[in-house]
Amino acid sequence: MTKHSLPAPPSVTDVNLVELDEDDTRIEQSVLEAIIPEHDAGQRLDKVLAALFPQYSRSRLQQWCDAGMVRMGTQVAGVRDKARAGDLLRVTVPALPEDTAFAPEDLPLDVVFEDTLLAVLNKPAGLVVHPAAGNWSGTLLNGLLARYPETAGLPRAGIVHRLDKDTSGLMVTARTLEAQTELVRRLQARTIHRQYLALAWGRVERPFNVDAPIARHPRDRLRMAVVQGGKPARTDFTPLAELDTPWGPLTALRCKLHSGRTHQIRVHLQFAKLELVADPVYGGRARPDLPLQRQALHAARLGFRHPASDAPIECIAPIPDDIAALWNVCGGAPDEIDPKRWPMFTG
């Protein structure tokens, strides 16, 4: 559903102010002004504020009253004060973190491939892809806006698909609307090929696939789950190597996506009774004595055809040091999990 901002009432003016905080950081604020109409005389002020400034929730307006940021005439006003017809209301609106969520930030980006239409990036673990509650800055999107200013006019700054915060690896992003539209179409048509490395506790003797629909967990809104009536999802799993460790059997898996649901590999591994290493959300046991403290999932290979030339593009992201260290500590050899040895998209 497309969201539309509500227009301000005709009597409201919006004046921008700039102040300095204790660290001399420039914080942009705005002041809303409105004359209290005759028909609102005697009403509780929070009710009048909600009617005059409908673009803000009543609870937020009440918070600003409590913080002394609302004046009626020359006096600071409270939520229970009675509105006086003809008085000028002034509301100082503080800058909110989400207001600057789409600001460019000069972040280091590991660019694997780029041209005038698109870029393929190797995202490190710990980097959030898109601004959201708790992560309004320092995201991949902020970095894209700085490196490719033209993406400011694109949905999600050209992001075509996402990776979880603690999943590392390859992502393709667009630099033009035409490229983004075509790449999204190809993603939906399953002609963008993605292969991941996963390290899971458990023993896997032969390839298998999980073809099970995924939707929001019925009781935990922060998780996904296999749910009847959810969106179709299929993942192919191929064992690469298995190690016997002091913590139990550990298997390296090549995971091929046939769809792109949220947390798909993690949910399908749990459904298959396997524990992705260091993924407590989906059953991975915490092992503080191991060198990996984030989910052992890496988007290692990406293949697709260029949206303009149709030439095949194949990218490989080396296994990150923390995953490689875990495999080494458990007695594995580097070539056992090397994505250069995997089959790839050939067009």
CA angle, 181 as apex, 212 and 4 as ends, to 5°? Answer: 90
Burial (CB count <10 Å: 0-12, 13-18, 19+), residue 304: buried
Asked if 164 contacts 140 with a C-beta cutoff of 8 angstroms, the reply is: no
48 and 40 in contact (C-beta within 8 Å)? yes
- DSSP states of 284-305: PPP-TTSS--S--EEEEEEEEE
Beta bridge partners, 255, equal 196, 237
Active site residues: 164
Instruction: Map residue 26 onto helix, strand or coil.
Output: strand
User: What are 319's two structure tokens?
Assistant: 């296994």
Instruction: State the burial class of residue 108 (Cβ atoms within 10 Å of its Cβ: 0-12, 13-18, 19+).
Output: exposed
Residue with tokens 């409201």: 12
Distances (CA, A) of 281 to 69, 120, 220, 224, 310: 41, 28, 11, 10, 39
DSSP letter string over 142-183?
A: HHHHHH-GGGGGSGGGGB-S---TT-EEEEEEESSHHHHHHH
8 Å CB contact between 47 and 41? no
Query: Are the CB atoms for 63 and 43 separated by under 8 Å?
Result: no
Q: Look at strands 248-257 and 88-93 and give their pairing.
A: unpaired
